[in-house]
Amino acid sequence: MMKNLILIALFTSSVAFSQVPSLELTPKGIEPAIINTNMLTASKLYEKTINWLEKNYENPDDVIVANLENKELTIKAVEPKVWTPNRIGTDTNYDMEYTLKIEFKDSRYKIVYELGNFEKNGVQLSTSYKDLFKKFDGSVKYNYDGAVAGIEKKFNEKTLSLYNFIMGISNGEDW
């Protein structure tokens, strides 16, 4: 009986985690992802996403650049500290501009990230995520693997945060 309970627990947790695909940064950017939900209508997904924006952005109205009710939301913002390299003994924080488009259908939504340039101390740099990769083979340039990993981590966390909010999954901070 105990073995069956453990197997059921493992199976259900793996199903829950498989709902949110792991995003990877490539020379072409981050591939769009379709995330399935349990029978939530497009209008409910839209409503919950608006609530998530209100909880996670200081001024949600300032980041929303397109709003087609129950169909699509587009936000434009800056993600802080996507990469913090140590240069000559000093940590330097790099932020990244991004646009997140979320399209809603019954029982699923699609996320599309478009990454912009890096920012440092609020100043836009001429460097973008494309500069992290070699042109001839698409591999990550020397010393930039931390930047790629940092970008993937931040945007995977953001994607999972939205999913957990929509699905009502607690992050353990119920105080």
Has residue 1 got a pLDDT over 80?
no
> Bridge partners of 111?
33, 102
How many CB atoms within 10 Å of residue 82? 24
Task: Say what the pTM is.
Answer: 0.84
Structure confidence by residue, pLDDT tens digits, 80-90 = 999 988 878 88
In the chain, where are the structural domains located?
28-163
Structure confidence by residue, pLDDT tens digits, 100-159 = 999 999 999 999 999 999 999 889 998 999 999 998 899 999 989 999 999 999 999 999
Separation between Cα atoms, residue 46 and residue 64, nearest integer Å: 13
Structure confidence by residue, pLDDT tens digits, 38-77 = 889 999 999 999 999 999 999 999 999 999 999 999 999 9
Structure token digits, residue 171: 């992050």
CB 78, CB 98: distance < 8 Å: yes
* Candidates 3.10.20.30, 3.40.50.620, 3.30.530.80, 3.40.50.970; CATH matching 28-163: 3.30.530.80
